[in-house]
C-alpha cells in the first residue's frame, strides 16, 4: 500500500503544483486580456500620438432636408510638454470665413487659451474659450469633439468587447471625471469602440444630459500613416436627434514634419492670415 | 473764414461727380448683388461635391452603410437661370483664376438737413477684386484693387498718388498689395502697401499709429477701419520666445478728414477751455503735410509674447500722428489756422488675458511731441469683454458685452499756439465705449447667424454727449450679408457728439462675397 500510496501522493503534488501554475498563468492571461479602460486609453494615446501633424479637411454639412454646405480648413497640431497640444485651424472656405484663424492652446485644467484672427479687422483677439458643447462652424461636431482626448478629465470604464465592421473592439464608457467637466460638457457619457489590433477609435456614441443617444461618429478608410499611427481619411458625425450629419474628408495629411512652436503663436496666426 | 469759403468755391459743381450718374453706378453694383432663389444659395464647388459623393460611395461598402443621403450640389439648389446664373458662373470662373472679391452697396438716409450738406440721402457702391498667388514655397504676392462710386461727393478721379494725401477717395485705387518673402529662421519680409492695426481697443487704440483712417463718414470708419495701406516694409521674426515686428514707412500718409461741404464738418469747432472757435472745414482746406524727406520717414517696432495666460506687447513708434492739430497764427488783427501733423515718439504697451468668460485688456501709449510741437500726452484704455456661448436657449447662440474706458492726460503743458481740434478720435479719448451683441442662430445647422448689436460711446470730457448705434446683421445665405440700423447722436452743439446731432440716420448695407 505504501508503495502504492507514494506515487499517488507524488501525482497529487504534481497535479496540485500544475494546477497552481495553471491558475497563475490563466490569471495572468486573464489580466493581460482585460486591461482597465484607462490602460486602453493610455495605450491608444501612446501609439497614436504624433509630435506634430498637418492636414486639410473638406467638410460637407448635410441638414435634415438634404441641403448641403461645404467647409474647408487647414489644421495643424503640435504636442508639447505634458501631452498638451496647440492647435491652429485656418478656414479656407466658405468665402465669408476665409483666412479666419483659430489658435487653441490646450490647458491641463481644461481652461484652454484661444485666439481668433479676423482678416477683415486684421487683428488677433484673445477669446474666452468656446463653450465645449457648442457646435463648431455649424457642423455636427462640438468643440469638445475636436479636442485631443484629455485623460485626466474623464474616467474610462471597460464595458466589454464588440465587433465593428468585423474588427474586434474594446467598448469603453467615458464619463466626466469631475463636476466641472460634467457641467461644461454637453454629454453625460460617450461610448468608444477601440480596435484591439491597432488601438484606434473607430466609432463613438455621444449621449446627451438626459442619457439619450445624440450623435454617432464613425471613422472610415483607416490608413497606417507612420509606425503605429493610424488615421481615418473619412469621418462621419451623424446627429441622431436633429437628423443632420457632417462628413469630413481628409485631403492632405503629414506627420512629424518638425513644425516649430513659434508657428503656434498669436503673431504667427496674424502673419499666416496676411 | 473767407479764405476757406473761397477754396470751397473753387470746387464748383464740375469737380464733383454728377449725383445721378454716381447713384446709377452705386445702384448697379447693389442690383448685381441681390440674392435670388438661384444665385442666393451657397454653391458648393462642383468638383468638391463630386469628390465627396464619390468618397461616400466608396466608403459605403466598408461600413455596410448605404449612401442613402447622397447630398450633392443640386440638393437644395434650384437651377439658376439668366442673369443670376451668369453672375454665379462668373464668380466661379474668377475663383478658378485665383481671384476673389466682394461687392457692397450702402445707403444712408439722414433725418435732418445740415448747413454744409443739405442732401438727406447717400449711396455708395464698392467693388473689390483680389489676386493672391504663391510664386514659390518662400514667395507670394497679393494684389487688391478697388473701384467705387457714390453720390456723397466722397469719390473723385482715378489718378492715385504715393503717398496718398488726396482729400477724396479714388474711383479706382490699389488697396493692400504686397510681396511676401519667407526667410530662414521663422522670418518673414513683407513689402508693399500694407495695413497695420496694432492695439487692443475696439473703438480706439492709442498704439495704433501707423495706418491712417478714412473719416469722410466718421462713424462708418468704425466698421471699415482702414481705407488704404501704406507703402512700407515689414520685417517680422520669432526670436526665441518673442515675436518681433519691425516696420519702415518711407512716406507719411495722412488720414482723410471730412470734406468742407460735408455734414460731418460743422461750421465751427468750439474748443472748450481754449476760447477759440476754429473753422470746421480747416482740416480739409489748409493742411500742411510733411514732405517726402528722409527726416520724415517713419519707423515702428513691436515685441509680443504670451506670459502665462497674458498676452503682452511692447511697441515704439517714431513718426507723425495721422490726424492734424491746428496751429493758431495771430497775424495783426486776424488769426489764421493751419492744420499741421505733429511728429512724435510713442512708446506703448498693451495686454490681454482671459478670466473665465471675461477677456480683460489694456493699452497705453505715451506720445512725446519731439519737434516744433512739444506737448506730450498719455493715452490709455482698460476694457473688458464678456462672452457667453453656452446659453440656455437654442435660438440665442452667443451674447457678447464689451466696455472700454478711455483716458487722455497731458504730460507736459499744452502749447497755446496749437489746438487739438478736428480730431475725430477726441470723442473716444476720454470716454466710455461699449456694446451688447446678441447672436441668433435659428438654423442650428448652417450657421446662418443673425446679430443685433447696440453700441455707443459717451464722451466724459464735456457735458453728456453720446453716440448710439442699433444694428441688425442678417446672413440669409452664405456669402451675402445685410446690415441695417440707426445712428443716433445727442448732446449740446458745443460737444463732440452734439456737433453731429443733425446726423441721426438710418443705414442699409448689402455685401456679396465671391
Residue B370 CA to residue B319 CA, distance in Å, equals 10
| Least confident window among B55-59, B111-115, B235-239 | B55-59
B435 neighbors B424 (Cβ within 8 angstroms): no
Residue B256 CA to residue B128 CA, distance in Å, equals 20
**CB distance from B3 to chain A under 8 Å?**
no
Task: Please give the C-alpha separations between residue B513 and each of A92, A100, B99, B217, in angstroms, as whole numbers.
Answer: 14, 15, 11, 23
Number of domains forming the structure of chain A: 1
Q: Is the pLDDT of residue B432 over 90?
A: yes
User: Does residue B71 fall inside a structural domain?
Assistant: no
User: Does residue B157 fall inside a structural domain?
Assistant: yes
User: Does residue B48 fall inside a structural domain?
Assistant: no
CB-closest option in A72, A126, A220 to B62: A220
User: Does residue A183 fall inside a structural domain?
Assistant: yes
User: What does the DSSP assignment read for A27-80?
Assistant: HHHHHHHS--HHHHHHHHHHHH--SEEEEEEEEEEE-TTS-EEEEEEEEEEEE-
The upper half-sphere exposure of residue A22, i.e. CA atoms within 13 Å in the direction of its Cβ, equals 6
What was the pLDDT predicted at A23? 52
Phi, psi of B26 (to 5 degrees): -65, -40
Contact pairs from chain A to chain B, CB under 8 Å = 157
Q: What is the CATH number of the domain that holds B290?
A: 2.40.160
CB contact under 8 A, A94 and B479: yes
**Contact list, B52 vs chain A (CB under 8 Å):** 58, 60, 247, 249
CB contact under 8 A, A128 and B354: yes
What was the pLDDT predicted at B419? 66
CB contact under 8 A, A271 and B353: no
User: Does residue A265 fall inside a structural domain?
Assistant: yes
**Confidence grade of residue B160 (pLDDT, cut at 50, 70, 90):** confident
Hunting for cell 483659430 — which residue is that? A102
Average pLDDT by stretches of 10, chain A with 274 residues: 51 62 51 81 93 94 88 92 88 87 86 88 83 78 85 93 95 93 90 96 96 96 94 96 94 91 88 72
Q: Is the pLDDT of residue B73 over 70?
A: no
CB contact under 8 A, A68 and B72: yes
User: Does residue B344 fall inside a structural domain?
Assistant: yes
Q: B39 vs B432, which has greater pLDDT?
A: B432
What was the pLDDT predicted at B220? 84
- Please tell me which residue of chain B has the smallest CA distance to A118: B197
Tens of pLDDT, residue by residue over B14-66, are 333 344 555 455 454 544 554 443 333 333 333 323 333 333 333 333 333 33
Tens of pLDDT, residue by residue over A198-229, are 999 999 999 999 999 999 999 999 999 989 99
User: Does residue A217 fall inside a structural domain?
Assistant: yes
Contacts of B98 (CB under 8 A, 6+ apart): B131, B132, B133
CB contact under 8 A, B478 and A135: no
User: Does residue A58 fall inside a structural domain?
Assistant: yes
CB-closest option in B63, B385, B387 to A218: B63
B270 neighbors B17 (Cβ within 8 angstroms): no
**In chain A, what is the greatest distance between 2 CA atoms, to the nearest angstrom?**
102
**Would you state the cell numbers that stand for residue A268, as one nine-digit string?**
504667427
DSSP β-bridge partners for residue A9? none
Domain that holds residue A212: 38-273
User: Does residue B46 fall inside a structural domain?
Assistant: no
Residue B320 CA to residue A240 CA, distance in Å, equals 60
What was the pLDDT predicted at B298? 92
User: Does residue A6 fall inside a structural domain?
Assistant: no
CB contact under 8 A, B390 and A121: no
- Please tell me which residue of chain A has the smallest CA distance to B132: A274
Domain that holds residue B402: 2-41+78-513
Residue B22 CA to residue A85 CA, distance in Å, equals 54
The interface pTM score, or ipTM, of the predicted complex is 0.78
Q: Is the pLDDT of residue B360 over 50?
A: yes
Contacts 24+ apart (CB under 8 A), A160-169: A161/A196, A162/A193, A164/A193, A164/A195, A164/A202, A164/A203, A165/A202, A165/B62, A165/B63, A165/B64, A167/A195, A167/A196, A167/A197, A167/A202, A168/A195, A168/A196, A168/A197, A169/A193, A169/A194, A169/A195, A169/A196, A169/A202, A169/A203
Q: B436 vs A32, which has greater pLDDT?
A: B436
A271 three-state secondary structure:
helix
Write out the H or E segment, with its range, that includes residue B129: strand B121-134
| CA angle B382–B383–B387, rounded 5-degree value | 165
What was the pLDDT predicted at B332? 72
Task: Please give the C-alpha separations between residue B311 and each of A117, B1, B240, B360, B361, in angstroms, as whole numbers.
Answer: 14, 49, 16, 11, 9
| Least confident window among B144-158, B253-267, B338-352 | B253-267
Hunting for cell 476754429 — which residue is that? B278
What was the pLDDT predicted at B415? 67
Number of domains forming the structure of chain B: 1
User: Does residue A177 fall inside a structural domain?
Assistant: yes
CA-wise closest residue to B323 among B391, B411, B425, B409: B425
The upper half-sphere exposure of residue B81, i.e. CA atoms within 13 Å in the direction of its Cβ, equals 2
What was the pLDDT predicted at B97? 79
| Distance of residue B296 Cα from the nearest chain A Cα, in angstroms | 26
Q: What is the CATH number of the domain that holds A179?
A: 2.50.20.10
Q: What is the side-by-side strand order in the sheet with B325-331?
A: B334-340, B325-331, B418-419
What was the pLDDT predicted at A73? 93
Quote the mean pLDDT of chain B: 77
Write out the H or E segment, with its range, that includes residue B99: strand B99-110
Amino acid at each position: 500500500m505504501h508503495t502504492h500510496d507514494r506515487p499517488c501522493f507524488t501525482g497529487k503534488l504534481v497535479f496540485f503544483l500544475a494546477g497552481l501554475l495553471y491558475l497563475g498563468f490563466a490569471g495572468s492571461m486573464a489580466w493581460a486580456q482585460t486591461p482597465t479602460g484607462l490602460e486602453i486609453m493610455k495605450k491608444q494615446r501612446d501609439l497614436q500620438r504624433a509630435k506634430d501633424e498637418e492636414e486639410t479637411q473638406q467638410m460637407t454639412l448635410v441638414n435634415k432636408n438634404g441641403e448641403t454646405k461645404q467647409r474647408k480648413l487647414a489644421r495643424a497640431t503640435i504636442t508639447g510638454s505634458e501631452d498638451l497640444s496647440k492647435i491652429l485651424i485656418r478656414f479656407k472656405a466658405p468665402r465669408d470665413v476665409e483666412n479666419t484663424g483659430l489658435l487653441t492652446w490646450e490647458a491641463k485644467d481644461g481652461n484652454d487659451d484661444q485666439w481668433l484672427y479676423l482678416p477683415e479687422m486684421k487683428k488677433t483677439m484673445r477669446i474666452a474659450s468656446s463653450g465645449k458643447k457648442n457646435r463648431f462652424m455649424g457642423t455636427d461636431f462640438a468643440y469638445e469633439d475636436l479636442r485631443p482626448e484629455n485623460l485626466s478629465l474623464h474616467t474610462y470604464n471597460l464595458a466589454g468587447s464588440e465587433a465593428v465592421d468585423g474588427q474586434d473592439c474594446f467598448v469603453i464608457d467615458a464619463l466626466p471625471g469631475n463636476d466641472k467637466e460634467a457641467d461644461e460638457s454637453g454629454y453625460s457619457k460617450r461610448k468608444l469602440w477601440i480596435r484591439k489590433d491597432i488601438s484606434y477609435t473607430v466609432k463613438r456614441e455621444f449621449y446627451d444630459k438626459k442619457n439619450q443617444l445624440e450623435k454617432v461618429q464613425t471613422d472610415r478608410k483607416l490608413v497606417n500613416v507612420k509606425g503605429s499611427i493610424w488615421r481615418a481619411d473619412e469621418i462621419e458625425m451623424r446627429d441622431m436627434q436633429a437628423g443632420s450629419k457632417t462628413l469630413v474628408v481628409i485631403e492632405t495629411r503629414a506627420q512629424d514634419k518638425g513644425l516649430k512652436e513659434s508657428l503656434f503663436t498669436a503673431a504667427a496666426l496674424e502673419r499666416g492670415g496676411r | 473764414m473767407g479764405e476757406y469759403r473761397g477754396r470751397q468755391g473753387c470746387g464748383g459743381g464740375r469737380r464733383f461727380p454728377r449725383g445721378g450718374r454716381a447713384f446709377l453706378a452705386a445702384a448697379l453694383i447693389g442690383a448685381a448683388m441681390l440674392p435670388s432663389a438661384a444665385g442666393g444659395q451657397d454653391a458648393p464647388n462642383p468638383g468638391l461635391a463630386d469628390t465627396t459623393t464619390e468618397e461616400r460611395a466608396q466608403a459605403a461598402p466598408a461600413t455596410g452603410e448605404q449612401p442613402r443621403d447622397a447630398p450633392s450640389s443640386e440638393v437644395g439648389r434650384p437651377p439658376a437661370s439668366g442673369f443670376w446664373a451668369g453672375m454665379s458662373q462668373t464668380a466661379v470662373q474668377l475663383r478658378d483664376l485665383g481671384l476673389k472679391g466682394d461687392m457692397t452697396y450702402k445707403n444712408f438716409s439722414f433725418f435732418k438737413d445740415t448747413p454744409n450738406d443739405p442732401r438727406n440721402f447717400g449711396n455708395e457702391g464698392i467693388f473689390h477684386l483680389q489676386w493672391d498667388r504663391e510664386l514659390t514655397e518662400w514667395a507670394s504676392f497679393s494684389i487688391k484693387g478697388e473701384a467705387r462710386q457714390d453720390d456723397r461727393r466722397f469719390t473723385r478721379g482715378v489718378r492715385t498718388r504715393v503717398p496718398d494725401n488726396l482729400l477724396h477717395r479714388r474711383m479706382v485705387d490699389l488697396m493692400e498689395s504686397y510681396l511676401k518673402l519667407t526667410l530662414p529662421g521663422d522670418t518673414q519680409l513683407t513689402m508693399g502697401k500694407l495695413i497695420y492695426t496694432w492695439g487692443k481697443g475696439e473703438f480706439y487704440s492709442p498704439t495704433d499709429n501707423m495706418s491712417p483712417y478714412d473719416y469722410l463718414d466718421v462713424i462708418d470708419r468704425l466698421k471699415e477701419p482702414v481705407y488704404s495701406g501704406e507703402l512700407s516694409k515689414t520685417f517680422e521674426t520669432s526670436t526665441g520666445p518673442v515675436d518681433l515686428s519691425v516696420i519702415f514707412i518711407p512716406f507719411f500718409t495722412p488720414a482723410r478728414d471730412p470734406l468742407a461741404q460735408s455734414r460731418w464738418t460743422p461750421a465751427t469747432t468750439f474748443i472748450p477751455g481754449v476760447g477759440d472757435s476754429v473753422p470746421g472745414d480747416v482740416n480739409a482746406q489748409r493742411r500742411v503735410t510733411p514732405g517726402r524727406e528722409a527726416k520724415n520717414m517713419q519707423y515702428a517696432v513691436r515685441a509680443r509674447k504670451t506670459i502665462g495666460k497674458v498676452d503682452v506687447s511692447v511697441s515704439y513708434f517714431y513718426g507723425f500722428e495721422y490726424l492734424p492739430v491746428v496751429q493758431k497764427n495771430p497775424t495783426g488783427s486776424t488769426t489764421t489756422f493751419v492744420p499741421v501733423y505733429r511728429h512724435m515718439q510713442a512708446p506703448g504697451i498693451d495686454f490681454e488675458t482671459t478670466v473665465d468668460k471675461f477677456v480683460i485688456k489694456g493699452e497705453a501709449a505715451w506720445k512725446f511731441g519731439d519737434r516744433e510741437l512739444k506737448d506730450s500726452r498719455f493715452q490709455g484704455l482698460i476694457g473688458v469683454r464678456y462672452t457667453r456661448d453656452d446659453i440656455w436657449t437654442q435660438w440665442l447662440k452667443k451674447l457678447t458685452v464689451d466696455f472700454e474706458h478711455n483716458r487722455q492726460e497731458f504730460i507736459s503743458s499744452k502749447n497755446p499756439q496749437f489746438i487739438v481740434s478736428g480730431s475725430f478720435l477726441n470723442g473716444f479719448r476720454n470716454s466710455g465705449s461699449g456694446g451688447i451683441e446678441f447672436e441668433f442662430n435659428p438654423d442650428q445647422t448652417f450657421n446662418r447667424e443673425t446679430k443685433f448689436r447696440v453700441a455707443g460711446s459717451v464722451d466724459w470730457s464735456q457735458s453728456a454727449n453720446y453716440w448710439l448705434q442699433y444694428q441688425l446683421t442678417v446672413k440669409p445665405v452664405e456669402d451675402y450679408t445685410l446690415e441695417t440700423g440707426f445712428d443716433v447722436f445727442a448732446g449740446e452743439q458745443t460737444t463732440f457728439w452734439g456737433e453731429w446731432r443733425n446726423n441721426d440716420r438710418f443705414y442699409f448695407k448689402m455685401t456679396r462675397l465671391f
